[in-house]
Amino acid sequence: MYLKFKDEVLSVLSNAVAKAGFEAEDMALNEISEIIYANIKIPPDSFIEKAVTAGPYINFFVSRSFLNETVLRVLLERENFGNLDNRGKVILEHTSANPDGPLHIGHIRNSVIGDTLARVLTRAGYDVETQYYINDMGRQIAVVVWGLENFKFDVSKKKDHAIAEVYINANKNLVDEKEHSPEVDAIMKKYETGDPETNKKFKDAIDTAMEGIKESLRRINIHHDKFTWESQFVRGGDVNKMMERIKKLDRAMIKDGALMVDLNDVGIQKSLVIQRSDGTSLYTTRDLSYHEWKAKQCDRMIDILGADHKLISSQLKAMLRILGLKEPEIVIFEFVSLPEGSMSTRRGVFISADELLDEVEKAAYEVVAKKLPEKDEDFKRKVAAFVSIGAVRYDIIRISPEKATTFNWKEAVDFEKQGAPFIQYSHARACSIIRKAQEDGIAFEVFDPNVLLEEQEIALIKKLSGFENAIDIASRDLKPNILAIYARELADAFNQFYRYVPVLDAEPEFRAARLALVDCSRIVLANALDTLGITAPESM
RNA sequence: GGGCUCGUGGCUUAGCUUGGAUAUAGCGCCGGGCUUCUAACCCGGAUGUCGAGGGUUCGAAUCCCUCCGGGCCCGCCA
């Protein structure tokens, strides 16, 4: 029963003092520790009950009043427990996959990281707006538009998948018969000039693909507040203004008719092309305008980007800094590859998010049917749905974004590991106890938290108290996996309590306090799951 | 070739920013636990040169250097 102050002021202080003291006076760490210890004065009624020396360490123990306060606060704050008081508007951009096919398992790593961070930041107090940036001016969309005129659009398929089929066919054809390439160039040029007929074709193609993409996102509890089209910055003149502005910089240069900037002095060897020799803009130029536009509307900008954007995003940041504009905070996640190599929509080599969800849901259904054979069909389907979505989201978010992963079907459909279902199950257990208590008319509004003295009870309360800290760290460092780990540890603590401490069969005074603790667990498990975008079921 | 990044038991992984107590947890493996609130659970055990080597330090998984291995990037593409 001890609280580690590793991350807290006290231990940092004692450690620092100990180190400084050692260097200055050549004393042993243990002696320093003793001196500090001798001078510790704990005020009565504080959240620290006592301090104990252990060699070079000083351990502080939490007090009863801290534990009691935690329980009472959770019951008082309910679904708001864990909310922090940060302020400000955040625009968080995530997913932003090109609308040339369905989301694949690499894209949803972006989506899940982005959506979880949006939820974490919201809980941390920020006003969060999520955006999907639609790259409608790239060549790949022109290929889709050209493809729609030359290949069959399979109406029997989900729309984004049908678009992908057209896109793949078009690419194959463009490689085989090079003479069609100018047709695509012509489409691109027409779109850039704003030809109404071409505009409509692009809008139809993109809307079609986006309809399917949004459907997939909705399935995993993800929604975007705003969809921003890249072309609006070209049409609105922002991109031209940006190019004119950059032209005036000392570091700007014209090489073979193209406008470039030198970024050597900021550690980037590659010079950045801002404007093509034909006067048109590039992706990065439009991205500069997009960020300038976003910056005006918020206090913090956060972009979730794949590892292939590392160079381009550092160029973007450097450029914004040079222009005196606000820079985004960028969360880079590494690639999800297939055992046979990296994925490519263009080549048709990918596993779609839909396919993954279908397979995982199928596997989940089999597990449910085996574990709960007496339940009706509707129940089994519902459970399979939220368990599979939870499992997919949890499996993605538990891994640090900077870790590259290789997709594995066997692991993807494995429910035996301690993932989301484990946490959901713990929540359902807690709900079950509360439900039974209500059915039996057992009240627990009045209770004495001082009777919660069992080792498992104290461990559980301490774990409950850590939720705010988890939100704080996850939101500050933009590390959503912190929360995934916390949720699992909380479920772990609850299950140990559940196993060792009887609730409904306990003596009335213990029963009331323990029911309150179960209620606390239920609340915080639900809050943690909600922040992870995972359903907290009342039964499963 | 240059830049960035990752390397922790058989597998997956936490910790690394800010050096400190027996290196976190899961899967798998071995053994135990359902007449008791949902066993998708709980308990115990085995398994580690923290990629390698050097350096800094009283002390290194953590900081610095070199090397090895994997990934990503290096286009008037996005």
Q: Which nucleotide is nearest to A342 (CA to C1')?
A: B71
Q: Which residue has the tokens 């005036």?
A: A248
A437: Cβ under 7 Å from strand B?
no
Torsion angle in degrees (nearest 10) through CA of A444, A448, A453, A457: 40
Q: Which of residues 282-301 of A touch strand B (CB under 7 A)?
A: 282-284
Provide the CA A207 to C1' B15 distance, Å, integer. Answer: 45
Residues A120/A529, Cβ–Cβ less than 8 Å: no
Q: Which nucleotide is nearest to A408 (CA to C1')?
A: B12
The encoded tokens of residue A152 equal 């069959």
A218: Cβ under 7 Å from strand B?
no
Q: What is the pTM of this model?
A: 0.93
Provide the CA A159 to C1' B72 distance, Å, integer. Answer: 31
Q: What pLDDT does residue A29 have? A: 64
Provide the CA A417 to C1' B46 distance, Å, integer. Answer: 20
Q: Which nucleotide is nearest to A258 (CA to C1')?
A: B76
A442: Cβ under 7 Å from strand B?
no
- As a whole number of angstroms, the distance between CA A534 and CA A527 comes to 10
Provide the CA A44 to C1' B58 distance, Å, integer. Answer: 37
Residue type, A408: N
SS3 A344: strand
Provide the CA A337 to C1' B69 distance, Å, integer. Answer: 18
A428: Cβ under 7 Å from strand B?
yes
Q: Which nucleotide is nearest to A273 (CA to C1')?
A: B76
The residue ranges of chain A whose pLDDT is under 50 are: 1-26
- As a whole number of angstroms, the distance between CA A373 and CA A286 comes to 56
The helix (H) or strand (E) run that includes residue A176 is helix A159-176
Total Cβ atoms within 10 A of residue A25: 9
Residues A423/A491, Cβ–Cβ less than 8 Å: yes
Q: Which of residues 388-417 of A touch strand B (CB under 7 A)?
A: 398-400, 402-405, 414-417
User: What positions of strand B are covered by protein, i.e. any atom < 7 Å from a CB?
Assistant: 2-6, 12-15, 17-18, 20-21, 25-28, 33, 36-43, 58-59, 70-78
Residue type, A390: G
Provide the CA A139 to C1' B51 distance, Å, integer. Answer: 42
The encoded tokens of residue A18 equal 């100990």
- As a whole number of angstroms, the distance between CA A512 and CA A222 comes to 38
Question: Which residue has the closest alpha carbon to B15 C1'?
Answer: A482
Q: What pLDDT does residue A41 have? A: 74
Q: What pLDDT does residue A23 have? A: 41
Provide the CA A43 to C1' B14 distance, Å, integer. Answer: 35
The encoded tokens of residue A489 equal 């540890």
Provide the CA A269 to C1' B2 distance, Å, integer. Answer: 9
Residues A103/A353, Cβ–Cβ less than 8 Å: yes
A311: Cβ under 7 Å from strand B?
yes
ipTM of the complex, rounded to two decimals:
0.94
- As a whole number of angstroms, the distance between CA A195 and CA A181 comes to 20
What is the end-to-end Cα distance of chain A in Å, rounded?
33
Provide the CA A4 to C1' B58 distance, Å, integer. Answer: 23
Question: Which residue has the closest alpha carbon to B42 C1'?
Answer: A499
Residues A68/A46, Cβ–Cβ less than 8 Å: no
SS3 string, A41-59, reads CCCCCCCEEEEEEECCEEE
Output the CA–CA distances (angstroms, integers) from residue A41 to A36, A59, A395, A522, in the order listed: 10, 14, 46, 37
The encoded tokens of residue A123 equal 């809980």
A92: Cβ under 7 Å from strand B?
no
Going by C-alpha positions, the residue among A502, A530, A507, A521 that lies closest to residue A459 is: A521
Q: Which of residues 29-48 of A touch strand B (CB under 7 A)?
A: 29
Provide the CA A381 to C1' B38 distance, Å, integer. Answer: 18
